Amino acid sequence: MRVGLGYDVHKLVENRKLILGGVEIPYKKGLLGHSDADVLLHAIMDSLLGACALGDIGHHFPDTNDKFKGISSIKLLEEVYTLISNNGYTVNNIDATIIAERPKMLPYIQSMRKNIAKALQIDINKINVKATTEEGLGFTGNELGISAQSISSLIEK
């Protein structure tokens, strides 16, 4: 078994869609980034790549490449699935946390889990997504950004 850890953060700005776990969430601000800035999927991808010792998403999908400008992170997650699969691994489980003061994530978590499971071609019961606030502290508490953390375990096929 192999284990990987992922973390991502993006700034909240006006005139951007808020997309987390491949779900568009109605909110007054969205996340700034080269792609759709889906911090949850970015953290998950980094944990998967890390578990295989394949670097990180910046290596595979650089923000200097216009091919990835505005791209859906679900598509990138599907590419990460291909990479880990081609290296002889399958996902055992993923546990991820979204850190955001607002909006409330609970109504969207099941859809996020479904999107992740579909992209990784695994059972939804291998995916856990949860959310927390920082009680008004720090950049997430002050609603300046949203971050996410992920840990994943992979097993050989």
Q: Over the stretch 82-140, which tens digit does the pLDDT of each residue have?
A: 999 999 999 999 999 999 999 999 999 999 999 999 999 999 999 999 999 999 999 99
Residues belonging to the binding site are 8-10, 34-35, 42, 56-58, 61-65, 100-106, 132-135, 139
What distances in angstroms separate CA 116 from CA 2, 19, 28, 31, 143, one per listed residue?
Answer: 19, 13, 25, 19, 25
Report pLDDT for 40: 98
Name the band, by pLDDT with cuts 50, 70 and 90, for residue 15: very high
Average pLDDT over residues 49-61: 96
Name the band, by pLDDT with cuts 50, 70 and 90, for residue 41: very high
Average pLDDT over residues 16-25: 98
Rounded CA separation 126/117 (Å): 8
Looking at residue 60, which CATH number applies to its domain? 3.30.1330.50
Report pLDDT for 129: 98
Question: What is the number of structural domains in the chain?
Answer: 1
Name the band, by pLDDT with cuts 50, 70 and 90, for residue 59: very high
Report pLDDT for 115: 98
∠ Cα 6 7 8 (to 5°): 135
Rounded CA separation 47/71 (Å): 20
In terms of Cα–Cα distance, which of 6, 9, 40 is closest to 22? 40
Q: Using a pLDDT cut of 90, give the percent of the chain over it.
A: 95
Report pLDDT for 122: 97
Looking at residue 108, what DSSP letter applies? G
What's the domain range around 148? Answer: 2-156
Report pLDDT for 94: 98
Residues belonging to the binding site for a divalent metal cation are 8, 10, 42
